């Protein structure tokens, strides 16, 4: 197992009245350019749907492709959504997503054997991703 010390939280930056699965995100990441990113796999390790369902992306044993310069020792978790129906940025994910995130992060702490730091993608880039303050998750 690779050394892990943090979870980096993302959002798909999709509207909450649209549904996208991890399969859609994988396609966005693996389709050739110019429409996709041309990566070998989805960049995130987990994806939390609007209904709270958790979908698996990359295995946590594999380095992600979700935050430049931070992938080596992190787990990438992406929330479906990020925008309201009108396109404005949301202030927080749905309660069921937050509950799923807490359960998942607690399980990952057990697997890793230590408490993982929880960070927003915005802490390592100029992006606003995940479009909410991650402190509400703990």
Question: Which of 129, 134, 136 lies closest to 12 in space, CA to CA?
Answer: 129
The total of structural domains in the chain comes to 1
Question: What is the chain's pLDDT, residue by residue, as a tens digit (138 residues)?
Answer: 799 999 999 999 999 999 999 999 999 999 999 989 999 999 999 999 999 999 999 999 999 999 999 999 999 999 999 999 999 999 899 999 999 999 999 999 999 999 999 999 999 999 999 999 999 998
Identify the domain containing residue 48 by its residue range.
6-137
Asked if residue 63 is part of any domain, the answer here is yes
**CATH number for 52:** 3.40.80.10
- Domain membership flag for residue 64: yes
Q: Are 59 and 111 in contact (CB under 8 A)?
A: no
What confidence score (pLDDT) does residue 8 get?
Answer: 98
The pLDDT score that the predictor gives to residue 123 is: 97
Q: Which pLDDT score is estimated for 1? A: 78
Q: Identify the pLDDT of residue 7.
A: 98
Asked if the structure places residue 80 within a domain, the reply is yes
Q: Is residue 79 within 8 Å of residue 12, measured between CB atoms?
A: yes
End-to-end CA distance of the chain: 26
Please state, in angstroms and rounded to a whole number, the distance separating the CA atoms of residues 1 and 101: 22
Question: Does any domain span residue 1?
Answer: no
Is residue 48 included in any domain, yes or no? yes
* Residue 15: DSSP 8-state: E
Among 9, 20, 33, CA closest to 93: 9
Answer yes or no: is 19 within a domain.
Answer: yes
pTM of the model: 0.96
């Amino acid at each position: 197992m690779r050394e892990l010390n943090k979870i980096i939280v993302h959002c798909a930056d999709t509207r909450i009245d649209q549904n996208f699965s991890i399969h859609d995100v994988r396609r966005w990441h693996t389709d050739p350019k110019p429409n996709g990113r041309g990566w070998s796999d989805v960049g995130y390790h987990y994806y939390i749907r609007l209904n709270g369902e958790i979908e698996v992306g990359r295995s946590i044993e594999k380095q992600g492709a979700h935050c430049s310069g931070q992938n080596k020792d992190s787990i990438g978790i992406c929330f479906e959504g990020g925008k309201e129906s009108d396109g404005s940025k949301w202030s927080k994910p749905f309660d069921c997503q937050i509950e799923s995130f807490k359960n998942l992060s607690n399980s990952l702490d057990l697997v890793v054997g230590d408490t993982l730091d929880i960070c927003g993608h915005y802490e390592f880039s100029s992006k606003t991703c995940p479009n909410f303050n991650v402190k509400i998750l703990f």
